[in-house]
Amino acid sequence: RTLPIHESQRELPSEVEGVASFELEVCPTYDLYQALLAMGDQIEVLEPQSVREEMYNFAKNLMAYYEPTSEA
């Protein structure tokens, strides 16, 4: 709320306590993904599906770095 990631950002009405939903009108760029990823596990991209899938791919690749190794 206090630091919008884009000038088009607007808050949508929410019926769930403690949950805020925002809408942005942007073209997905590397900078957008960086801004979203910087929020870590505090956000979930709902749509468009293409951006949601790209965020999933970033998260999956990140998790691969932290997979336990079987060193004995």
State pLDDT tens for residues 33-72: 999 999 999 999 999 999 999 999 999 999 999 988 876 5
Among 42, 44, 60, 62, which residue's Cα sits nearest to residue 52?
44
| pTM for the full predicted model | 0.80
State pLDDT tens for residues 6-37: 999 999 998 889 899 999 999 999 999 999 99
Q: What are the structure tokens assigned to 8, written together?
A: 């088009």
Please say whether the dihedral angle defined by the alpha carbons of residues 36, 14, 23 and 51, taken in this order, is positive or negative: positive
